[in-house]
Structures are given as structure tokens and as C-alpha cells.
Amino acid sequence: MKWVFIAALCVTLFGIHILAAVTLAKTRKLGKNRFFRLAFYLIITDGCLMIEYVWKVITTNIYEFSIDGLHQYHCIVMIHLCPAAILCSLLMTLSMCLHRLNATFTTPKRVLSALTSNVTIGLGFLFIHVYVLLRCVLELLNPRVPLPCDPLYNTEKSFLLFIDVPFAIFVSLIACCYIVVIWRIRTHQYLVMEITTLSDEQIQQQRKASLRMRYNMITLSCIIVVTACAILPRTIYGLYINVSDNINVEIVQAANNLLLINPLVDPFIYIFRIKEIRSQFVSRCFRSNKTTPTTIPTTLPATSTTCSGPNT
């Protein structure tokens, strides 16, 4: 009954993602803070991954994977949609890195602003799903394709190459962008320290901007570390399989399960790292049971008038 636990865990994580998304939306800063909006999109993509993974787990465990039937079509669709959700999650992480890179410039760069715009993100989502669903359609039309519900299906070299090469590209881009952001922050701090003609107000503004940048970078660092731990094991082993002929199904399944680390930990990063989400979450979970004195403002004037009556 291991699959029941995995399905229940995914449903629970989906609920946590919905809670985090609603809490972030109630901060009313999605339109003002671009970093919050990108985090909101990342929550949505992780939540979609949970639903798709639950569907795949239930389908592959309820039906016999060695028997042909309608459930095989469900398996092949879900096996392709889950990597699409992961690629969208990596796209959002890369967009957050580019947004932080753009924030290191005094005047935002037009190219970086365009790369992190809603139009570009929407086109990225569309391209990823077209890329994935195109191969899915080709697999559905190919009569020689192995049974998709079979665990050996996603250990084929063609499938691993199709999935792991984009994973490796995204992870490399995220790492390079993150290194550039850290380098620019360090050089910017040295330049600020060398400038001695700043006024007190400008110094305060620089300190607030530096603290905000540092806080967002810590949040982004946590997301990148979790993403690397979830993606790299499957990516490295998948590329190794394409070079050698040694395929261990248990290692592949373990690497596939590690992909759940990303949506498992990300909501808690948002809750504990983003102040607005944390404050709303704490106020909801630990709300006092005491009744608020709503009648005080209405009773105080009446008391004052009754007391002043006899004195006149």
C-alpha cells in the first residue's frame, strides 16, 4: 500500500499549495511585487504537478501494467505531463533568478524585463506543453511503443534523453544566473562602500534595498537548493544511462520519487521566508479565541452622557 501513502501525501501537498497560493493572493501585493507574482506562478505549477502525479500513481497501481487497455493511454499522458509541470517549475525558478538579476541594475534592463514578463512566461508554458504533447501524440500513434504503465517505459534512452536534457539545460541556466546575481551584489556593495558623498537619507535607502535584496536572495537560494536536490539525481543518472547500457530500475524509480522534494518543501519556504505569508498563516492558525470588544465604541458615549446628565 505504498502507493496509497504517496497519493495521500500528494493530495495533502496540493492542499498546502492551495493554502499558500490563497494566502499569497490575499497579501494584495501580486500586482506590485513582481517577485511575489513569480512565486505565485511557481506555487500553481507545483500544485499541478501534485494532481498529475496522483493520477499517474493511482493509474499505475490500480490496473495491471502488463495488460493493454484504456489505462495505458492515461499512463502515457500523465508520464508526459508530469515532466511538463517540472519544466514549468524550472522555468519559473529561472524567471525569479532573472528578476533578481534585473534588480541589481540601477535602471532595469529591457531584455531582462521582457524575459520575466507575463507574455514571455505564458509563451514558455505554451512551448513546453507543445514540446511534451507532441512527443506524447507520436507515442500514441506508434504501435511499437512499450506499455506506458510498465515501470521500464521511462527508463528507455529516448525518453530519458527527451526529459533529462531540458532538465540539465534549465538547471545549468539557473546556476549560472544565480552566480552572476551573487557576483553583481558583491560588486555593488563594494561600490556603495567606496562612495562617501551619500546623504543620510540615501544611505538609509541603500540599506533598505540591500536588506530587501538579501532577504529575497535567501528565499531564492532555498528554492534553488531544493530544486537541485530534486532534479539533479535523475538528470545525472539519465545522462549516464544514455552513455552506458547499465539501467537499474530501482535507481530510476528512486530518482523519480525525489522529484517530489521540490513541491514538498517549496510551500514551507514560502510560509517561513515571505513575511506577508508567514504573518497571515500565523494569524489564521493561532488566532485568539477571545471575543473582540466590538461594543466598547458604542457603549462609551452612552456612559459618558448618562454620567454627565446629573452634573448639569
CATH code for position 137: 1.20.1070.10
pLDDT at residue 294, as a whole number: 47
**Contact predicate 174/226, CB 8 Å:** no
Q: So what's the pLDDT on residue 165?
A: 85
d(CA 44, CA 47): 5
197 lies in some domain: yes
Distance from C-alpha of 50 to C-alpha of 228, rounded to nearest angstrom = 19
Residue 170 near residue 163, CB atoms below 8 Å: no
**At a CB cut-off of 8 Å and minimum separation 6, what does 145 contact?**
76, 139
Residue 284 counted as domain residue: no
Q: What type of residue is 233?
A: P
End-to-end CA distance of the chain: 82
Does the residue 294 lie in any domain? no
Dmax (CA) of the chain: 102
Q: Which of 84, 57, 79 is nearest to 140 (CA)?
A: 79
Residue 287: inside a domain: no
In-domain check, residue 90: yes
Domain count, the chain: 1
Count Cβ atoms below 10 Å from residue 43 Cβ, excluding itself: 26
Residue 33 lies in a domain: yes
pLDDT at 128: 93
- Has residue 218 been placed in a domain? yes
- Domain span at residue 36 reads 2-277
Question: What separation in angstroms does the CA of 175 have from each of 68, 144, 154, 181, 238?
Answer: 42, 39, 26, 10, 19
For residue 307, being part of any structural domain is answered with no
Q: What is the mean pLDDT of each run of 10 residues along the chain (312 residues)?
A: 72 79 75 79 84 79 74 83 89 88 84 90 93 89 78 76 85 87 75 59 71 74 83 82 76 80 75 68 60 47 43 40
Answer whether 66's CB lies under 8 Å from 109's CB: no
User: How many CA atoms lie less than 13 Å away from 297 in the CB half-sphere?
Assistant: 2
